[in-house]
């Protein structure tokens, strides 16, 4: 099975990059399943229903989020209408929406997607490790799902790495999101779970984490919030990962970064291109 994951979509630049690129990538890679983190897609803060539908129409099977899920207040309402939009699973009971779901891939496989949020240097939610453990116990790899993908939206790389090893051999892939900076530690762990600390963002990298540079620099210099952050509008780099999952075991054979467009060095999964 071929899984494509795209990192945090930031503002108009990121949306345009993903909407223009994703349909071509899905065909080029012959991807069976696509997950996109859309939590910064509406002006850099949250997601709207219209943008969610655009991402789904462009080829996303599931849209994950993170700590900005409720920045657009309408999300509290429309998330109940969209099974394919996830919010972190470790929000308290009674929070609108859901944090995990079983979805059908293009090849007919059942894919469990879990969206969780870290707690180190982040808003204090319930324990993500326990929440993920409950999901993995209820829907085990190859008996309940053909593949399991975890989007762990967290700040600290130590927390992300700990979670990767915690579920190693029980999930197909753990992908870190939130920091907007792609990391170079993509690997298949000893037990067969693919892992990366951060997928990076789909946005303009001539920026500070996707935002116009002036205000963040000013805040560091003066400690004064002069104006709100505004997403940078330059050409986006579309960042993500390609993951090759073994159909027999549900574990990963390979993982490699995707970086296309914009300012960053360009790369695609060679194990897919060589076979195309």
Domain range list for the chain: 2-273
Q: Could you tell me which CATH number the domain at 2-273 has?
A: 3.60.21.10
68 is catalytic: yes
For tokens 């116990």, name the residue: 137
pTM of the predicted structure, to 2 decimals: 0.97
Name residue 141's beta-bridge partners. Answer: 145
Q: Write down the pLDDT at residue 275.
A: 56
Out of 68, 153, 178, 180, pick the active-site residue. Answer: 68
For the chain, list residues with pLDDT below 70.
275-276
Each residue's pLDDT tens digit, 51-103: 999 999 999 999 999 999 999 999 999 999 999 999 999 999 999 999 999 99
Q: Write down the pLDDT at residue 192.
A: 98
Whether the CB-CB separation of 222 and 28 falls below 8 Å is answered with no
CA distance 106 to 183: 29
CA distance 269 to 241: 8
Q: Write down the pLDDT at residue 103.
A: 98
């Amino acid at each position: 099975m071929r899984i494509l994951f795209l990192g945090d979509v930031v503002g108009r630049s990121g949306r345009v990059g993903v909407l223009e690129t994703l349909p071509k990538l899905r065909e080029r890679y012959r991807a069976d399943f696509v997950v996109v983190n859309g939590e910064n897609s509406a002006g850099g803060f949250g997601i709207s229903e219209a943008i969610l539908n655009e991402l789904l129409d462009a080829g996303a099977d599931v849209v994950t989020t993170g700590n900005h899920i409720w920045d657009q207040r309408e999300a509290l309402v429309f998330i109940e209408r969209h099974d394919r939009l996830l919010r972190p699973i470790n929000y308290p009971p009674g929070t609108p929406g859901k944090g995990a779901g079983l979805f059908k891939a293009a090849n007919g496989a059942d894919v469990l997607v879990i969206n969780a949020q870290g707690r180190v240097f982040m808003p204090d939610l319930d324990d993500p490790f326990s929440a993920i453990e409950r999901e993995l116990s209820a829907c085990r790899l190859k008996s309940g799902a053909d593949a399991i993908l975890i989007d762990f939206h967290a700040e600290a790389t130590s927390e992300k790495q700990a979670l990767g090893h915690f579920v190693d051999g029980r999930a197909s892939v753990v992908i870190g999101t939130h920091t907007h900076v792609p990391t170079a530690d993509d690997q298949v762990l000893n037990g067969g779970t693919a892992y990366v600390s951060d997928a990076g963002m789909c946005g303009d990298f001539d920026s500070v984490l996707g935002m116009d540079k002036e205000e963040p620099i000013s805040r560091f210099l003066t400690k004064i919030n002069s104006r709100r952050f505004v997403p940078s509008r330059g050409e986006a780099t579309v960042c993500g990962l390609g993951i090759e999952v073994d159909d027999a075991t549900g574990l990963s054979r390979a993982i490699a970064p995707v970086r296309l467009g914009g300012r960053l060095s360009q790369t695609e999964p060679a194990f897919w291109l060589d076979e195309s």
